[in-house]
Structure 1
């Protein structure tokens, strides 16, 4: 009879210990969940702040492009717009290095415009042939040109009919084109663009491979010679200069060339604490030199 109270006390102690253990586990879980929620909240705050700071980067790009249009009649690779920013402090005054901005501007008219592969939903064989030549010079299968042209055509409206697919916006969108090698968009990115207008190729900024594809009869060796001339400071200053220096090329082959650009891609990123926010944007410089954002994508 005397053992029962001891047994009851033992059961009570065990029950109390179990309650303490459960309460401690619940408290720990609550603290962990709260910590995760706070970390998520801080990350989302940093993302919003990063996007806001990147907007400042777009404003910086627009200012640079406007200054370039004011000071130069040509768009060249020695212009102020070609200078990249790396780890530029954009944080608060008390800690400016808390947020670091890096960015660059790229000339989209120094590239082969994939939009030219089709017009009103109809594939343009001449443009496809030019892209095939560009692919060969890059060591890629020229058969990819037909696949890309078909996808570009599908994204264009035809007479009385809506586009069969969403239009491509950037070279990265080629990753979804069936039949293309997975790494092809990355290889093509420095050489092609998707500008939503018919534009000329800038002979002052295009690489040799693009010049060879754009100028019939020039060839890759001729394109490299033009690039070498530019590197020596022999820029093309107007269309007449272009006609004189390329007298061996039929004038018709030079019609789609120019010495100035008005379409640019801005790439930027902000490192804020442990959060990285990036963007890409397509800018069009109007006749007044103002840069208008055509599209922007945050990553």
Structure 2
């Protein structure tokens, strides 16, 4: 009887041990399978991302081709590109229809005529014109504070907040405006559609300037007259700056003199729209690429590129 109990006890231990081994093997197999699935999914995402990036670069090449054949481009509509389970959309924007913040200084010093124009733009947008001097102080080469401006002593604040110095060089991105005294997120977003930060002084293209920028081009140019100019431009773009200056809406006014009817800087944004093939339902739309294109001697160069975010 005693031997039988020992045998039963040993059999029970062996059974429990076998069950533990099976359980551990199952856990290990599940872990390995899960890890393998994650690796497969991660690899697929990387391949998919690279594939989309190649599509985006193809869109860049297409935009360059279109721009090289139309120097007086107003708005090029690039048709969507169909891809498996979605579409890629291209949007081309003329950056010289905006006011270039880097025009506010010339050879490191404040440019009075550009400051006047920028103040008019700020008033049109119902922002304080005093913010113009804050922007100038950020990029001019000296440490002399303009009236209502802001130099280092404004930004070198207490240890409870982030301290920094003025840039004293040109803007590299419109997002830098968020760092400036007097600008909050609301005022930045209100200003953003009408500004650019191009690396050289650039004229404003009167054929592509939006209403608010047009109104800032001359003291006394009201919304009604600026709207008339845009309507006439839609019918027939200006061939020369002289044609613009002679427009009846500008009679008796003195327009800003750094104008153009052509552009050399463009912003290309490329978005992906994923579609559920079975139901035709749009799942998401995401930004793939943003590129700033510069034309020189009818050749294009990408001077800035960002994947997914703003430039």
* TM-score normalised by L of structure 1: 0.79
Q: Which residue is equivalent to 1:269?
A: 271
Assess if the C-alpha contact under 8 Å between 1:51 and 1:277 holds in 2.
no
Distance 1:148 1:42 in 2: 46
- Once the two structures are superposed, the pairs formed by residues 86-97 of structure 1 within 5 Å of their partners are 86=80, 88-89=81-82, 91=83, 97=84
Tell me how far 1:244 sits from its aligned partner. 2.1
TM-fit CA distance, 1:112: 0.7
1:257 counterpart residue number: 259
1:226 is matched with which residue?
229
Structure 2 equivalent of residue 158 of structure 1: none
Which 5+ residue runs of structure 1 have no aligned equivalent? 92-96, 155-162
Pick one of 29, 32, 37 that aligns with 2:31.
Answer: 29
Cα pair distance change 1:142/1:240, threshold 3 Å: closer
CA distance in 1, matches of 2:34, 2:138: 49
* Larger relative contact order (CA 8 Å, sep ≥ 6): 1
Structure 1's 257 and 99: CA in aligned 2 closer, same or farther, altered over 3 A? same
Report the number of matched residues. 273
The aligned residue for residue 291 of structure 2 is 281
Aligned mate of 1:148, from 124, 129, 135: 135
Q: 279, 287, 301: which one pairs with 1:292?
A: 301
CA contact (8 A) 1:113 1:193 kept: yes
Give the Cα–Cα distance (whole angstroms) in 2 for the partners of residues 75 and 211 of structure 1: 18
Q: Residue 134 of structure 1 aligns with which residue?
A: 121
Give me the whole-angstrom Cα distance separating, in 2, the residues matched to 1:227 and 1:105: 19
Mapped partners of 2:179, 2:25: distance in 1:
52
> 1:114 is matched with which residue: 98, 101, 114?
101
Name the SS for the 1:139 alignment partner.
coil
**1:51-130, aligned counterparts within 5 Å?**
51-69=53-71, 74-77=72-75, 81=76, 83-86=77-80, 88-89=81-82, 91=83, 97-98=84-85, 100-130=87-117
Q: Relative to structure 1, is the Cα distance of residues 34 and 226 closer, same or farther in structure 2, using a 3 angstrom cutoff?
A: same
| Residue 248 (structure 1) aligned to one of 252, 265, 270 | 252
Contact 1:54-1:270 within 8 A present in 2 as well: no
Further displaced range: 119-128 or 194-203: 119-128
**8 Å CA contact retained: 1:208, 1:226:** no
Structure 2: how far apart are the matches of 1:113 and 1:100?
A: 33
Check the 8 A contact 1:280/1:296 in 2, yes or no. Answer: yes
CA contact (8 A) 2:272 2:288 kept: yes
What is the distance in 2 between the residues matched to 1:215 and 1:99?
46
For the Cα contact (< 8 Å) 2:139–2:169, is it kept in 1? no
- CA deviation vs aligned residue, 1:38-79 (integer Å, no higher than 9, x gap): 11111111111111111110010011111213xxxx4435xx
Question: What is the CA–CA distance in structure 1 between the aligned matches of 2:218 and 2:169, rounded to whole Å?
Answer: 31
CA distance in 1, matches of 2:169, 2:50: 28
Consecutive unaligned residues in structure 2, runs of 5 or more: 142-165, 276-282
Partner of 2:193: 190
Alpha-carbon separation, structure 2, partners of 1:50 and 1:14:
53
CA distance in 1, matches of 2:267, 2:168: 24
Q: Kindly report which structure 2 residues correspond to 1:157-168, keeping only aligned pairs within 5 A, or say none.
A: 164=167, 167-168=170-171
Answer with 256-265 or 176-185: which moved more.
176-185
- Answering whether residue 27 of structure 2 is matched by residue 40 of structure 1, we say no
